[in-house]
Chain A
Amino acid sequence: QSVLTQPPSVSGAPGQRVTISCTGSSSNIGAGYDVHWYQQLPGTAPKLLIYGNNNRPSGVPDRISGSKSGTSASLAITGLQAEDEADYYCQSYDSSLSGSDVVFGGGTKLTVL
């Protein structure tokens, strides 16, 4: 069971807007740690999509955005395209008794209908 909770799957038709949620707690997202998002296309390594809650690395289109509020974060993709079909993971930091650990969400499979 992942520390960060994501829906297992979301779907949308081409051109539509979809959002993927990432729910944490007071020891991670709620503690002020940033949330980052990765896109994993089938058979490939994850790629950084959003860092620091809402920043896009060079080359990521502006139809992809991120936000964070309280103990949750969201990834939004507008103008959905077939190439967006992939798995998406959120990542943050968690303060536990053992120290500060990197934590991932369980991943969300985005299907473009």
Chain B
Amino acid sequence: QVQLQESGPGLVKPSETLSLTCTVSGYSSDYYWGWIRQPPGKGLEWIGNLYHSGTYYNPSLKSRVTISVDVSQNQFFLEVRSVTAADTAVYYCANWNMGAYNFDFWGPGTLVTVSS
């Protein structure tokens, strides 16, 4: 079974870059990955997915987001640039099931607060 764990700073200043790492274990090279976030007290928002063919982002975030991978380290990454208070959320990484088009397993999530 795939296991995922998010890590990164819990506090980011406005206008700076939010950077998170997802460390994965128990996966195969056929897996794909994604990031989802959840503002406090609100619903889930898809950020983007990473496939062998490239990355795909939520159109509302595309201009500020980059997802990348380091296969040798079993890690993939999220960057959100020029953050504001609206980017305060619990950020989840998850594995994307390319056959069924759903997220199979999720990390526990990490809260990132944007504040000066």
Binding site for B on A (CB under 8 A): 2, 33-34, 36, 38, 44-48, 51-52, 57, 89, 91-93, 96, 98-107
Contacts and interface: CB of A to CB of B under 8 A. Distances in A.
Contacts of A44: 108
A100 B106 CA distance: 21
A103 B3 CA distance: 23
Interface of B: 34, 36, 43-46, 49, 56, 58-59, 62, 92, 97, 100-109
A38 B107 CA distance: 14
B51 to A, nearest CB: 11
Contacts of A57: 104
Contacts of A92: 101
Contact of B106 (A46, A103, A104): A46
A104 B44 contact: yes
Contact of B100 (A47, A52, A101): A52
Contacts of B36: 104
Contact of B109 (A45, A98, A101): A45
Q: Chain A contact residues: over half helix, strand or loop, or mixed?
A: strand
Contact of A98 (B59, B92, B97, B107): B59
The 3 closest A-B pairs by CB, nearest first: A36-B102, A102-B46, A107-B43
A20 to B, nearest CB: 14
A68 to B, nearest CB: 13
Contacts of B103: 36, 38, 46, 48, 91
